[in-house]
Amino acid sequence: MPGPGSRGKKAGQPVRVQSARPRPPAAEKAADVPAAPRASAAERGEEARAARPPIRYPEGDLPPCHMPVILTVEPSQDYALLDCGHGEKLERYGRLTVRRPENQAIWRPRLDAAAWDGADAIFTGDTDEEGAGRWRFPKGDPGETWPLAQDGMPYLGRFTSFRHVGVFPEQAAHWRYMCEAIAAAGRPVRVLNLFGYTGLASLLAARAGAEVTHVDASRKAIAWARENQDLAGLADRPVRWICEDAVRYVEREVRRGSTYDIILFDPPKFGRGPKGEVWQLFEDLPYLMAELRQLLSERPIALVLTAYSIRASFYSLAALMADHCRGLGGRIEAGELVIPEAGPQGRLLSTSLFSRWVAT
């Protein structure tokens, strides 16, 4: 019987054995040198910031600030906050009820345990905003997607491992303001939507008549947004879908001399670009704001910033916004986006801070 090293050889044919060659001293020495440690995210962020030019601040008078402004989204057939408390919220998205973490809800729930346990989808896992987890479906798996609508525009809901479903309903207050401004402009309007996620703001702006550029670092989010575009019947509208780091894209647009009439940006606390770029909100937001000021057209309409789940105040966002909007006129509005609970004596759940410059 042939041995293990002779499979496929004819009987009596010698088996060749590769002799071990001594490793050259230089190679041995190189192999003993440990690989250089990879730079941390914080170090890569510092390197990128060090390579940037100094922040350019405009001159002129500060716009007047109106604070606090509280923007709410009332319950509708598309969405409702049913209850919240004990670090969770119970919501209705179209036909499905969803239970997931909410760190702001530090009070007790109004509804009984049966209402909460009867949710169609329950998120389990890490309760931190950046933490991943799983969904449990007590009534059976509803499928990968389900139909939703925003102000009559259809889109797809989808359960993600980071507890989101494809829409931040509190943003509807900004979206409605934007669509009204586009309709009232009486001229072509260009919109830039940074950190655009699944594209609802971009598609609503396009439906209202604007030319839209949508930027997000996630290829999955861009693909989802394109699905929403097809579902909404807006495939013929002028929307550019760009998968890129937001700061890099803005820098390039500044060099090109591009301008926009409305700019929306909803940056995360921490994020990564498609090529490993690092975003840290407190360190990078002032630079991004300065670059965005240069992208505003000669007749700008609005610059809208939303910040979610950060340890800061809307007063801070307003001061930053005002400093970069010197000489524009208009006014600064700043405050919170909140969602009232459905039903009598509904409480207000704060979801985001915002600051926006508006022309009038």
Residue 125 and residue 225 in one domain: no
More confident residue, 207 or 26: 207
Inside any domain, residue 38: no
Residue 278 and residue 192 in one domain: yes
**pLDDT for residue 132 is more than 80:** no
Residue 247 and residue 284 in one domain: yes
Euclidean distance between CA atoms 256 and 211, whole angstroms: 18
**Tokens for 117?**
């346990």
Residue 194 and residue 335 in one domain: yes
More confident residue, 270 or 175: 175
Residue 66 and residue 96 in one domain: no
Q: State residue 5's pLDDT score.
A: 39
More confident residue, 50 or 98: 98
Q: State residue 360's pLDDT score.
A: 84
Residue 300 and residue 334 in one domain: yes
pLDDT average, residue stretch 88-97: 97
Give the phi and the psi of residue 17 in degrees, each rounded to 5.
-115, 125
Q: Are 50 and 285 in contact (CB under 8 A)?
A: no
| Max Cα–Cα distance, the chain, nearest Å | 96
Residue 139 and residue 209 in one domain: no
Q: State residue 162's pLDDT score.
A: 87
By percentage, how much of the chain surpasses pLDDT 90? Answer: 76
More confident residue, 312 or 334: 334
pLDDT average, residue stretch 213-218: 97
Residue 127 and residue 218 in one domain: no
pTM for this structure?
A: 0.86
Q: State residue 19's pLDDT score.
A: 38
Domain count, the chain: 2
- List all residues 6 or more positions away from 85 whose beta carbon is below 8 Å from its beta carbon: 105, 107, 108, 109, 110
Residue 63 and residue 115 in one domain: no
Q: Is 165 exposed, middle or buried (0-12, 13-18, 19+ CB in 10 A)?
A: buried
Host domain of residue 212: 55-74+165-358
What's the pLDDT band for 127 if we cut at 50, 70, 90? low
Inside any domain, residue 48: no
Residue 94 and residue 229 in one domain: no
- List all residues 6 or more positions away from 125 whose beta carbon is below 8 Å from its beta carbon: 131, 132, 133, 134, 161, 163
Average pLDDT, the chain: 89
> Would you say how long the chain is, in residues?
360
CATH of residue 262's domain is 3.40.50.150
CATH of residue 102's domain is 2.60.40.1180
Q: State residue 286's pLDDT score.
A: 96
Inside any domain, residue 155: no
Inside any domain, residue 10: no
Mind listing the pLDDT tens digit for each residue in 276-312? 898 999 999 999 999 999 999 999 999 999 998 788 8
Residue 187 and residue 293 in one domain: yes
**pLDDT for residue 20 is more than 50:** no
Three-class DSSP category at 28: helix
Inside any domain, residue 186: yes
**pLDDT for residue 35 is more than 70:** no
What's the pLDDT band for 7 if we cut at 50, 70, 90? very low
Inside any domain, residue 157: no
**pLDDT for residue 28 is more than 90:** no
Residue 138 and residue 279 in one domain: no
Inside any domain, residue 324: yes
Inside any domain, residue 46: no
**Neighbour tally for 101: CB within 10 Å:** 18
